[in-house]
Structure 1
């Protein structure tokens, strides 16, 4: 676990990284690249892109290879480090969630770095949740118990949203957050729970299910099947990369969709391929179960999620709700960001 001081150091590193932008951003006018570097964390929703790529790096004969792309997926489980990697051009595209993006977008904008959401990866449908020891039966029972979660991640947003809907007073909700065990990444809460060092944890699969299996009497009491249409995984791209490489970005999105179609049409082969991806920790025998906890997005799902300019879309709804969380915690101050400025629909509009 990390202290608020250590998390402050992570944030400081992020700010320093933003300050280095002038020396690392590419020069406009260069020829379009066929290379795309993508930040991901270990999350089952990434499988569309991984299948399209044939692994973390583009495999010969893969969907991306046939499109002339060279894609490299870089596993960065720390979300602050992932954002810093995008800001310093160490990656071109970042996997994040709509809720976390509301924070990162405002911080990027304040430092002069432009980036926009351009693709819906998946909806969480039970793969994010709150797990508890025996004797805790509802979210309101978390008062007086130690809850582990990773601040400024989807787990934070899920817990905040669930507690707000639970009927607890603001004082009780604040007590749960202030007495919580704050971790650096989204994996550690599940580890602490499995080791019986906390009473509850907010986590995501595969770590969440694994932790419940290791602790007798424990169970999941709240997840994204109840909080439906709350946790949406998205891809964000830096403005300069998008401007310089529009066709590469379209091919990248099209290939991802083709990867999703492959999973749906040939699931057995897809599970085997997933299990063979080194360092991604999704074994073949668990792939099917884990994929049941997400809804992979296709072209139609992308169009519906982002909507049209100014529409009451799911993207805008989650973005606005998350800003309330980050304003309550003091991370965001000043005027609220307009969701419309944080999205670029050109790629989604091109999908068929």
Structure 2
């Protein structure tokens, strides 16, 4: 079926979008004009982030449905807002569309974004669509605007020697899920591995965790696990000019990831450290604040795992093996230019 022209397609994709009541008073000019206009609030700072996903680099039709692509493109940006301790609010979407991508698939992609946006009470406020010659690739660029209390944004640069390192949930599930999806394809994947596949296809950003950390008033260095635990630990180490030591036996990995690693004769730890796209949060906090943070997370019904400590020295990341041996941890993970 022939696709609508640019303006018809935009009307189709945005016409049914809902603006949450909490944001309606903040949206001065929405879709349909040259730009959106939102009003700020006294005592708050804006947070802005932008991320692009490219077919064959970030996703493939063999491993993700159109709705998954939309979900994940938005989730990557929401996770960046979460890592600053903020609340996601508005988003814009720009598409580079090859002719091979049918209109129904584009609608499904927007539906995936919309469902995730509803979870966090966000509103779509604009974007763009352009044609990509030939067979592609499809490109999806999402910009998210959020807010955080003035002066309360969490950054990577706050870690100090003596701090304890935490992660908000299991890591490695997305990497293992991608391996399974590439092996079987989304339509033939055995039921046994659907959980890890969903961790890759439909990751959930840790907004609540970021807000709990921000509200705690604790000095926290924070980063989201988009490119792998090792890569994100290195980013904190470099920003804070500190040495991070991860404890091998404390890094949380699900039983499904361990089971999948066993049948494939691969290493669950490799996915945990280097797989990426788990969208958990990794951070550092003072040791005398551990119990207070534990209680705050328990009260919020979310998890917190302590996985290491910050040491004196120049920027560095090491891993302490279960045997007690300490080894350098390579600065690698998912890299868009590999």
Determine if the TM-score, normalized by the shorter chain, exceeds 0.5.
Answer: no
Return the index of the structure with the highest Cα Rg: 2
TM (norm. structure 1) is 0.29
TM (norm. structure 2) is 0.30
User: Which structure has more helix as a fraction of its residues?
Assistant: 1
